[in-house]
């Protein structure tokens, strides 16, 4: 499979800035088939970017959506609405949604089903807190989050997984290469146990957590890492593309 470079723009950028960034990313040539690129812009500019998007530009995703297709949910957007606006993928269970907006395993599972119902590809975010890691509960947390989110989801359903240690998101602290390799190995084992991975292939497992051009090469060299979900460094074409180049170089070196 090609490596994956995903950028979560969070609550940043307007239409003009977002369009310029989308085009700058699309203008950067990479070897055919070596890198799949996607960005998750704010919902307010998703439709505008979809109208301007060229074939070489990144795919578009939505950062969040409600589980239901419609209803009395003021301020929410359904997966079907996100797809109509131009989304092809959806982030589900991001740690900021869990921590700041009280999402839990049950709501993440419901959103997974809604995203798949609408024909979007889910990017399921999982990861442990610092306290959980210090208690050596990382593997149990990842197993629980995967199991509950994917309960009732067909094994052949489209899926990307993003491992994001909560303590490394937006903090400038990045997990060590050994820590990432270990955690991704556990995720792959769990996916295999659930019938979602085999020697023939597995859902892509991305790493997210303060990835930047300085640490991207070492992380990209890990065979357990299929790509990155990038936060702050995705807001500038230069840094985002440098991370993508690290993925391409690592893929060719393997």
Q: Give the active site residue among 66, 94, 128, 184.
A: 94
Residues 6+ positions from 161 with CB-CB distance below 8 Å: 123, 124, 126, 146, 187, 191, 203, 204, 205, 206
94 is catalytic: yes
Task: Centre a 10 Å sphere on the Cβ of residue 227 and count the other Cβ atoms it contains.
Answer: 27
Contact present, 179 and 167 (Cβ < 8 Å): no
Q: Give the active site residue among 80, 96, 103, 164.
A: 164
- Helix 138-150 with 177-193: angle, nearest 10 deg: 40
Contact present, 213 and 246 (Cβ < 8 Å): yes
Task: Centre a 10 Å sphere on the Cβ of residue 175 and count the other Cβ atoms it contains.
Answer: 22
Task: Classify each residue of 104-137 as buried b or exposed e, where b means 16 or more C-beta atoms within 10 Å of its C-beta.
Answer: eeebbbbbbbbbbebebbbbbbbbbbeebbeeee
Output DSSP code: residue 156: T
Residue 217's Cβ-side half-sphere holds a number of Cα atoms within 13 Å equal to 5
164 is catalytic: yes
Residues with a catalytic annotation lie at 94, 164
């Amino acid at each position: 499979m090609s490596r994956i470079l995903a950028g979560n723009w969070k609550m940043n950028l307007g239409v003009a800035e977002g369009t310029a960034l989308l085009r700058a990313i699309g203008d950067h040539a990479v070897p055919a088939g070596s890198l799949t690129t996607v960005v998750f812009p704010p919902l307010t500019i998703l439709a505008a970017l979809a109208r301007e998007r060229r074939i070489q530009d990144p795919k578009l995703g939505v950062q969040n959506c409600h589980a239901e297709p419609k209803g009395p949910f003021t301020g929410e957007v359904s997966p079907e609405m996100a797809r109509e606006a131009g989304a092809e993928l959806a982030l589900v269970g991001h740690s900021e949604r869990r921590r700041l907006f009280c999402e839990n395993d049950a709501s993440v599972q419901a959103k997974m089903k809604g995203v798949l119902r609408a024909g979007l590809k889910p990017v399921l975010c999982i990861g442990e807190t610092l306290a959980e890691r210090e208690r050596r509960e990382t593997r149990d947390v990842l197993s629980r989050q995967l199991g509950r989110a994917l309960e009732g989801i067909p094994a052949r359903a489209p899926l990307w997984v993003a491992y994001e240690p909560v303590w490394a998101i937006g903090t400038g602290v990045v997990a060590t290469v050994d820590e990432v390799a270990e955690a991704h190995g556990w995720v792959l084992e769990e996916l295999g146990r659930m019938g979602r991975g085999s020697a023939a292939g597995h859902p892509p497992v991305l790493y997210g957590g303060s990835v930047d051009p300085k640490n991207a090469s070492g992380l990209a060299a890990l065979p357990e890492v299929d790509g990155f979900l990038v936060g702050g460094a995705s807001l500038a074409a230069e840094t985002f593309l440098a991370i993508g180049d690290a993925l391409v170089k690592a893929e060719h070196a393997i």
